[in-house]
Amino acid sequence: MIFMGSIFKITALAGIAAGAYAAVKKFAPNILPGKNEAEDMAKNALNSVKLTFPTDEKFYNGTALTPPMGWSSWNAFRNRIDEKLILEIAEAMKTSGLADAGYEYVNLDDCWQSSMRDENGRLQGDFSNFPSGMPALVKSVNDLGLKLGIYSSNGTLTCEDLPASLGNEATDADTFAEWGVEYFKYDFCHNVPIPMRAPYIEYISVANSDGSFETVIPADDASLFGDAKILEDERLDSGRYISGLSAHRGSALFGVDVPEDGEYSLTLGIRKKSNSFKYLEVTVNGEDKYATTVPPTKGFTADGRHQVKIKLRAGANTIELENPIASRQDSAAVQYAKMGRELMRATAEYADRNGTEERPIVYSICEWGRNLPWRWGAAAGNLWRTTPDIQANWKSVVGTYEINVNLFKYAGKGNWNDPDMLEVGNGDLTFEENRSHFTLWCFMAAPLILGNDVREFIREDGTADTENETLRILTDRDMIAIDQDALGEQCRRIKTTLIADTLIKPLENGDVAVCFFNKGSDTRYFEHRMDDIVCRSYVTTPLAQEYEVYDLWTKETSVINTTLSAFVEPHGVKAFRIRAISE
């Protein structure tokens, strides 16, 4: 409803703007843009809720074929981390049995890095807190049989105002690959959206490096598509320029012949208009893409130039110009997808250079659900945050669940909805609430990234505290198997009273997992007919006369005929694994 309301508001505002244009121009013409610019602005507003980013090809790097499991520093330690703490955490994960249960990533969140990049523009660890350097830390964690994860932001700075990776994607991906990092969380603080506006093009020219070849192609020689059109302008020498390339609404295709293969300078002849940043994507021969941002045009002259280095082949080539960014969703998707491509390139190139086995990096997109990442995340990364930051209280856990539980159709092998890190063991969550929290995340096929101080699972004598309630929840093999099931299906909510939910999750071997979730403050009775569960198209459990029911928490087994039922404690769950035993 919020999303639809935004569409109606944007549509209404665009209509008001268009309708008022003529009247305002009559009385205050100097405060308005030109007519064509105003039309662009109105169309951009209407298009701002669209997603044009291509999602047909999934991101695949061979990792996260089941939801990732590990630990992150942020929930428990915030900005107070150092290499001693990280190594203590890694050792505790090994000793406590967490590693044996499947938790393999030790992830540094924000504040691992220095405020200074090195002389080559590369990120480096905080000099005081990580004096041994990041490669040494990676090796120490690897020696324990675990993998190190790291953090940056898709912005000019991280959330804690330290160097981030927007504009440095290739350099930072190379750095992480060389260090041996195997998990990467990419946040959204200090993000700078890609402009939806495109520059106006008077001509293009192509020249080689020594100046012995140059060809100029005017706007009139381009093939125009969509809203792209030729406008006349007496301030230009040619008198004409191309408009309508903004917001994925139009494109211009130029043909150019060059004498030999190689790198060429592409000069864009710009009609200067609008004191704002503009974005253009140059596609050569339908394959190679070059992105460029044109700065605000404040010059005294009407025309300007903007250059891009491109590679052409001998003979005929095509050069297409457009701005594919029609919305904030497109902007975020394009930026996150770029980092994903750089990570895959960097790990492959490092392995090839050094003759080593490739160590792909699990790529965690963390833009808090602002730009509906479930719509495009599977084409950009391994997992994507669907919600704002979780907090260590029951209201936050339930609120996070309510968002994520409805997004089941977007999750699958190698690409997962991420409702944020686990708060099990943190804050004032009760035993029932901790167990419910963990159960819900497992049923939703969510990444299981711990957020507590796991050193508390180690006794003074250095052995694991196997009686610790939180540790017993987090290492329950039966529940972890639900999360890690190879079928890769997120649960579906098949019934709700707002207070009481019934969830089902099909499993690879033909079993089905069922969860009764009581959000209320009183004990509740649940029941659900088995034929209503197994008749659903996505469940392969056959209709049967009898079913074996295994309680995932009590470890008790029973046999039922037609109806599954249970009393559920306040803020609690009852979770079962069910198989047909008599058809």
β-pairing verdict for 492-496 and 524-529: unpaired
What CA–CA distance (Å, rounded) separates 64 from 383?
Answer: 8
* Percent of the chain predicted with pLDDT > 90: 90
By the 10 Å C-beta count (0-12 exposed, 13-18 middle, 19+ buried), 368 is classed as middle
What backbone torsions phi and psi does residue 29 show, to the nearest 5 degrees? -65, -25
Alpha-carbon distance of 181 to 172, in angstroms, equals 11
What is the pLDDT at residue 37?
A: 55
Model confidence band, residue 299 (pLDDT cutoffs 50, 70, 90): confident
- Please report the pLDDT score of residue 297 as a whole number: 81
Where are the chain's structural domains?
A: 1-35, 71-192+331-483, 195-324, 492-582
Residue 32, sorted as left (phi over 0), alpha (psi -120 to 50) or beta, turns out to be beta
pTM of the shown model: 0.91
Q: Name the residue with higher pLDDT: 11 or 308.
A: 308
By the 8 A CB rule, do 357 and 182 touch? Answer: no
pLDDT class of 50 with cuts at 50, 70, 90: confident
Q: 118 versus 22: which is more confidently predicted?
A: 118
Q: Which of 100, 66, 103 is nearest to 445 (CA)?
A: 66
Cβ-Cβ contacts under 8 Å for 16 (sequence gap 6 or more) = none
- State the pLDDT at residue 393: 98
Q: Which of 45-59, 140-154, 365-379, 405-419 has the lowest mean pLDDT?
A: 45-59
Helix, strand, coil percentages (3-state) for the chain, rounded to 5, are: 30, 30, 40
Query: How are beta strands 278-284 and 315-322 bridged, if at all?
Result: antiparallel
Q: By the 8 A CB rule, do 264 and 257 touch?
A: no
Which of 81, 68, 89, 74 lies closest to 159, judged by CA? 74
Averaged pLDDT score across all residues of the chain: 93
User: What pLDDT sits at residue 192?
Assistant: 98
pLDDT-derived band at 274 (thresholds 50, 70, 90) equals confident
The Cα 445–Cα 422 span in angstroms is 13
Q: List phi, psi (to 5°) of 100.
A: -65, -30
What pLDDT score does 10 carry? 42
pLDDT digits (tens, 9 = 90+) for 149-182: 999 999 999 999 999 999 999 999 999 999 999 9
Please report, for residues 65, 412, 491, 501, 536, the alpha-carbon distance to residue 540 in angstroms, rounded to integers and kept in the order given. Answer: 21, 17, 14, 22, 8
Burial class (CB in 10 A: 0-12, 13-18, 19+), 117: middle
With cut-offs at 50, 70 and 90, classify the pLDDT of residue 210: very high
- Sequence-separated (6 or more) residues with CB below 8 Å from residue 409: none
Q: In the CATH scheme, what architecture does the domain 492-582 have?
A: Sandwich (2.60)
As a whole number, mean pLDDT of residues 439-461 equals 98
User: If we measure between CA atoms, which residue out of 137, 140, 168, 166 comes closest to residue 150?
Assistant: 137
User: Which band of pLDDT confidence, cut at 50, 70 and 90, is reported for residue 47?
Assistant: low
Mean pLDDT calculated for residue range 276-304: 94
Amino acid at 312: L
Residue by residue, what is the 3-state secondary structure of 178-209?
HHCCCEEEEECCCCCCCCCCCCEEEEEEEECC
What 3-state class would DSSP assign to 462? coil
First and final CA of the chain: distance in angstroms? 44
Would you state the pLDDT for residue 48? Answer: 53
CA-nearest of 215, 220, 224, 214 to 202 is 220
Q: Per-residue pLDDT for 15 more than 50?
A: no
**The tokens 């997962």 sit on which residue?**
416
Residue of 83, 63, 73 lying closest to 141 (CA atoms)? 83
Q: What percent of the chain has pLDDT over 70?
A: 91
Q: What is the dihedral of CA 520, 523, 524, 530, to 10 degrees?
A: 110
Residue matched to tokens 């540790």: 471
In this prediction, residue 28 has a pLDDT band, given cuts at 50, 70 and 90, of very low
Pick the more confident residue, 41 or 220: 220
Mean pLDDT of all residues in 187-208: 98
Higher pLDDT, 233 or 10: 233
pLDDT in tens, 363-394: 999 999 999 999 999 999 999 999 999 999 99
Those residues with Cβ within 8 angstroms of residue 486's Cβ, 6 or more apart along the chain or in another chain:
65, 66, 413, 508
71-192+331-483 CATH choice from 2.50.20.10, 3.20.20.70, 3.10.180.10, 3.40.50.720: 3.20.20.70
Q: Look up the CATH architecture of domain 195-324.
A: Sandwich (2.60)
CA–CA separation, 236 vs 317, rounded Å?
Answer: 27
How do residues 138-154 score in pLDDT, each as one tens digit? Answer: 999 999 999 999 999 99
Specify the range with the lowest mean pLDDT, choosing from 26-35, 330-339, 374-383, 476-485: 26-35
pLDDT band of residue 485 (cuts 50, 70, 90) is very high
